[in-house]
Chain A
């Protein structure tokens, strides 16, 4: 799940990670009040959507840019009025754009230097790793590619936690000294605490800045959360905004299905994540384009299969469906009954190829045959992929 900039700021405040002062607003009046509160500082107003490229984006009402400098509470209200409840289109949102429900009024800080700082889990060592660089404000992938010597890494012992010497090492490597090093140390210590306490998979500050008035601040943050740990973080779950997510993925999550929408036209419904990925691959191998990743899990019920079927059919781009089930323990007949029920309910408007193998497969095939529906069966994954690619071409 993603969170908004203002929500990231709330987490930073909660864990005492310094960032520019700012406030979220849902109405022009609230925006004006926030600007009033920070009077004297240079201020910026920013549309809150889960997408990058806001500054260069445009609103469907004609207003240009989702990020603006403001010089008065009146201007804050005026710009908020043009952004709130309007649709912002950026390079990342696609043509449809995103509805702006909130704006943030924040201090626009002067910058002396930009740094990069993140904490993530390193799979190779099974430890958290802190990644830092003096080259902030740009893509860290580019820095790693062009000037790998400018990337500093510090692994942290999972049971001991972040040590003071590790912080000193990082500060020195970034060229920070005196009070700035002290502020950096405090910020990093608190950021590490946040990373662990919130079960983050990643927290990234880019840029981390020093200011002419001698502050160290996290200017822009990105969070990744371990979704398996969300059960113990209701405060983070509360930050989720389903309106910002793919509606098909939201519907799938209600039925405990793993669904990821893609751009192709052949939908697939598979049990098991590995087999689901491999099914997408084999569709592509035979010249088709997968429309989605969909894993119904190892113990799917009839209801889940029916729900999965409807989510697939809700995608207008889909021109054909491939179902690939290896029912090891799962009863193939349960799958067959779920498919038949859903197909009958929806009238099965598209070609459907099913490859069914495993436990109770004969009964499953009999159920499909007796349904009277136009279902093509396949003997193997390759056979199924070839048949569905042919059917949609």
Chain B
């Protein structure tokens, strides 16, 4: 089952002819992901890596290849337009990897997407991985920039605002012999398409997912919102980790969204809410997998 994507998902990549997009398109192909199309305006007719056709528009790519998911690797100034183009073409899942999109652009995109059938993940995120069942999780669906080889197919769902912390959690799980159903990086920006809560609900409904790691950080109240829902509705064990306990107030810690604005934005406040909602809180980032396993009774 997994969530959002699986080995049959057909993926198109916006910005496939750029160095960043191209590099990760190749890594996804190597992983076994069905990358069926690329889109770069003005470069339609080219072929990527001798097998992936490049189109001028997302609509053409969808019509020709049946792609249902897109990955956005276009530069920040053009990313809002690229997201809306995918939405217009009826793509089910739009994963925006691009970092540095102006927040006003995202505010308008978020409003414009209301009522559409597309789901946006990101921006400023590592993407989504549903690991495959082959050697080093080959054969899975990898949309974005996560390292495929650290995964293993299994029953833990991972959701996080941070890329490298997601990898850290995945690596800990895999090393201990526990695989993942799907790993979702929702991104570090203040406005994103999909929240912790959205992903928790999907994991809760997914029979393959038996336990969940939720990684958050300072800024906003998304983790608290998810935890309060989980308290009454989620019947699966959850481990939580919140980064930024030592972050000074008012400073933006790398991620545009990682800033302590008020009393409820702090790591301490969030950890307290998570614990009150029955989530096992990992004390350090080194303990994410072990804390989950203990809570899970493994």
Residue of B nearest to A198 (CB): B104
Interface residues of chain A: helix, strand, loop or mixed (majority): mixed
Distance, CA A260 to CA B247, complexed state (A): 10
Q: Which residues of B contact A293 (CB under 8 A)?
A: 247, 251, 253-254
User: Chain B: how many interface residues by the 8 Å CB criterion?
Assistant: 61
Taking CB atoms, residues of chain B closer than 8 Å to A226 are 102-104, 256
- Across chains A and B, the number of contacting residue pairs, with CB separation under 8 Å, is 171
Binds A, one of B46-54, B108-116, B201-209: B108-116
Contact between chains at B284 and A382 (CB < 8 Å): yes
Q: Which residues on the A side are within 8 Å of B285 (C-beta)?
A: 275, 278-279, 281-282, 381
Binds B, one of A172-180, A227-235, A336-344: A227-235
- Which residue of A has the minimal Cβ distance to B247? A277
Complex CA distance for A274 and B218, rounded to whole angstroms: 10
Please report which residues of chain B, range 227-251, place their CB below 8 angstroms from some CB of chain A when the two chains form the complex.
241, 243-248, 251
Contacts of A380 in B (CB 8 A): 286
Query: Which of B103, B190, B254, B262 sits near A273, CB closer than 8 Å?
Result: B254
Contact with B along A279-294 (1 / 0, CB 8 A): 1111111000010010
Query: B71 CB to closest chain A CB, in angstroms?
Result: 14
In the complex, A124 Cα to B162 Cα: how many Å?
19
Residues of B146-204 at the interface with A, using a CB-CB cut-off of 8 Å, are: 146-147, 150, 160-168, 171, 188, 190-191
The interface residues of chain A lying within 8 Å CB-to-CB of B248 are 260, 262
- A274 near B215 with CB under 8 A, answer yes
Assembled-state Cα–Cα distance A359/B254 (Å)? 23
Query: Which one of A158, A326, A328, A329 has the highest number of Cβ atoms from chain B below 10 Å of its Cβ?
Result: A328
Q: Could you tell me the distance in whole angstroms from the C-beta of A295 to the nearest C-beta in chain B?
A: 4
Q: Are A228 and B256 in contact (CB under 8 A)?
A: yes
**Given A126-B191, A260-B251, A277-B217, are A357 and B171 also a contact pair (CB < 8 Å)?**
yes
CB distance from A390 to the nearest CB of B (A): 16
Q: Which of A141, A276, A290 has the most CB of B within 10 A?
A: A276
CA distance A196 to B77 in the complex (A): 16
B150–chain A nearest beta-carbon distance, Å: 7
B107 at the interface (CB under 8 A from A): yes
On whether the beta carbons of A273 and B102 are closer than 8 Å, the reply is: no
In the assembled complex, the CB of B23 is this many whole angstroms from the nearest CB of chain A, namely 8
Q: Say whether B217 contacts A158, CB under 8 Å.
A: no
Are A228 and B102 neighbours in the complex by a CB distance under 8 Å? yes
| Closest B residue to A383 using CB positions | B286
Chain B residues lying within 8 Å of A137, measured Cβ to Cβ, are none
In this complex, the member of B161, B218, B254 whose beta carbon has the largest number of chain A beta carbons within 10 angstroms is B254
Q: Are B171 and A229 in contact (CB under 8 A)?
A: no
The reply on A29 being an interface residue by CB < 8 A is: no
Instruction: For residue A247, give the distance in angstroms from its CB to the closest CB of chain B.
Output: 16
22 A-B residue pairs with Cβ-Cβ distance under 8 Å, sorted by A, are A123-B219, A124-B220, A159-B111, A159-B112, A228-B102, A229-B102, A229-B105, A274-B166, A274-B254, A274-B255, A275-B162, A275-B165, A277-B253, A278-B241, A278-B284, A285-B283, A290-B246, A293-B253, A298-B164, A328-B164, A380-B286, A382-B286
Given contacts A228-B103, A299-B20, A326-B164, 16 further A-B contacts (CB under 8 A): A121-B107, A126-B107, A128-B107, A158-B107, A199-B104, A231-B77, A277-B218, A278-B285, A280-B246, A281-B244, A282-B286, A283-B246, A328-B146, A328-B150, A358-B167, A385-B284
